[in-house]
Structure formats: structure tokens, C-alpha cells
Amino acid sequence: MQKRILKMTLCASLVVLSVVLSRFLFFVLPFTGESRYSLGWVPIYLSGFLLGPIWGAACGALSDIVGYLINPLGGAYFPGFTLSSALAGFLPGLLFRMLKNHVPEPSQRRSSQGLALLVLIYLILLPSQIITSVLLKSLWFTLYYGAPFAAVLPLNAVSSAIILVINGLLTWILYLIMVRQPAIRRLRG
């Protein structure tokens, strides 16, 4: 029971952080036109890593829905973006669960373990980013805005590569900080 409450609290905190990062602290890369980019998926990735794929999917979907309700950014609700957000929490959570046995837990004494974790995080985030931020985002832009898929795909691919580097590094740093917290250790133990 106490673990469930801790999971719900952590999920809610990560949803709030994701909403703030994605709806209020976003930027536009110069070559992408009107597309917004934010660090809002970092908390969603962390929810998948720390809580598992189901909680990660819930955190992603809730982040998109709550974010839309607070600040719709001038458009109608589109469930495709919610699906992408849910997958952004589910896929890394699933892959992390499958692959984390291959990398030892980071310790304060051995930095090579932390670097191995960084490589693992990038390997996990890469397929998720390709599916959600390149392929699905291009499809959603085609369906929602009527933009040609072939025109949107290369822009999303380039911008997603840039965002992947930043998101992966921040996810790694925050993960290393969070797994050392007593409440997270209780949750994982």
C-alpha cells in the first residue's frame, strides 16, 4: 500500500514537472518553423525508468491531457499527441526493464558504471524518439495540419536528434540523482 502511494505521488510530481516544462518552458529551433520543443519528455522518461512501463504510459498520457487543459496552445485536442506521450513513457520503461540487468547500478566509486548507464539510456531513448518524435509526430502533423508527410519527416528527424542528445543527458543526470534518494530506493527495493 505504501509503495502504491509513493508511486502515485512520484507519478503526479513528474506529470506536473512535465506540464510546466512542455507548456511554459518551450523553445523553437530556428530551422523548424513553428514546431515547439521542450524538455517535457524528460520527466516522462524518468517515470518509465523508475516506475515501469505502465506508470510511464500513464504519466505521459496524463501530462498531455493536463497540459492541454491548462494551456491548449491555440489548438483543438488531438488524441494522437496523447498516444505519443503515452508511448514516450511506455517504450523507455519497457526497454529499461528488459536491459537494465546488463548494466550495474551506478555507485559513487566507479564512474564507468555511470557512463555505461548513459549509453544504455541513449540506446533506450533512440527507438522511442524515432517512433514518437519522428514517425508519429510527422503523421500527426500530416493528419492535424495537413502538412505533407515527406516535408515534415526530415525536419522532425533533425530536430529530434538534437533534442535526443539534450534529453538523454538530462535524463541520465536526474536518474543518477533520483536513485540515490531514500524514497526511490524504497520504491525500487
Asked if residue 14 lies in contact with residue 46, where contact means CB atoms within 8 angstroms, the answer is yes
Residue 97 has pLDDT above 70, yes or no: yes
Amino acid code (one letter) for 58: A
CA pair distance 9, 13, nearest whole angstrom:
6
Residue 108 has pLDDT above 90, yes or no: no
What is the dihedral angle through the alpha carbons of 164, 144, 36, 82, rounded to the nearest 10 degrees?
A: -60
Contacts 24+ apart (CB under 8 A), 180-188: 183/6, 183/10, 184/10, 184/50, 186/3, 186/6, 187/3, 187/6, 187/7, 187/10, 187/50, 187/51, 188/50
pTM of the model: 0.91
Residue 10 has pLDDT above 80, yes or no: yes
Q: How far is CA 68 from the centre of its chain?
A: 17
Tell me what pLDDT residue 104 has.
60
Residue 29 has pLDDT above 60, yes or no: yes
Q: What is the pLDDT of residues 114-173, one digit of tens each?
A: 888 899 999 999 999 999 999 999 999 899 888 899 999 998 898 899 899 999 999 999
Q: What is the pLDDT of residues 45-95, one digit of tens each?
A: 999 999 999 999 999 999 999 999 998 776 788 999 999 999 999 999 999
CA pair distance 112, 36, nearest whole angstrom:
35
38 DSSP assignment = E
CA pair distance 20, 136, nearest whole angstrom:
23
* Spatial CA neighbour of 187 closest among 4, 48, 15, 55: 4
